[in-house]
Amino acid sequence: MKKIKQIKTCLELEKAFGITEITLPGKTTRNTKQEFEQFRQTVLKCTKCDLHPTRKTVVFGDGNTLSSIMFVGEAPGEEEDKTGRPFVGKAGQLLREVISEFLPCDQVYIANILKCRPPQNRLPTRTEIGSCLPYLSSQIKFIKPSIICCLGSTATTVLLGKQSVTMGAIRGKSFQSIYGTVFVTYHPSFLVRRGLIDLPIFKNDIKQALIASGMIKR
Ligand code: SF4
pLDDT tens sequence across 140-191: 999 999 999 999 999 999 999 999 999 999 999 999 999 999 999 999 999 9
CB proximity list for 27: less than 8 A, separation 6 or greater? none
Report, in angstroms and rounded to the nearest whole number, the Rg of the chain calculated over CA atoms: 16
Does the beta carbon of 212 lie inside 6 Å of ligand 1? no
Q: Which residues pair with 148 in a beta bridge?
A: 70, 182
Does the beta carbon of 58 lie inside 6 Å of ligand 1? yes
Residue 90 CA: distances (Å) to CA of 75, 95, 167, 204: 14, 9, 21, 20
- 69 CA → ligand 1 middle, Å: 23
Does the beta carbon of 80 lie inside 6 Å of ligand 1? no
Which residue ranges make up each domain of the chain?
2-213
> Which residue of 42, 52, 122 sits with most ligand 1 atoms within 8 Å of its CB, as the best mutation to test the pocket?
52
Coil, helix or strand at residue 56:
coil
pLDDT tens sequence across 99-152: 999 999 999 999 999 999 999 999 999 999 999 999 999 999 999 999 999 999
- DSSP conformation class of 145: -
56-75 mean pLDDT: 98
* Biggest CA pair distance of the chain: 46
- 19 CA → ligand 1 middle, Å: 13
Coil, helix or strand at residue 176:
strand
CATH class of 2-213: alpha beta
The protein residue with its alpha carbon nearest to ligand 1, atom 2, reads: 132
**Residue 71's pLDDT is what?**
98
Of the chain, the percentage scoring pLDDT greater than 90 comes to 84
Does the beta carbon of 81 lie inside 6 Å of ligand 1? no
- Position 27 pLDDT exceeds 50: no
Nearest to 79, CA basis, from 88, 71, 70: 88
Cα torsion angle, 192, 103, 33, 161, sign: negative
Does the beta carbon of 151 lie inside 6 Å of ligand 1? no
Does the beta carbon of 116 lie inside 6 Å of ligand 1? yes
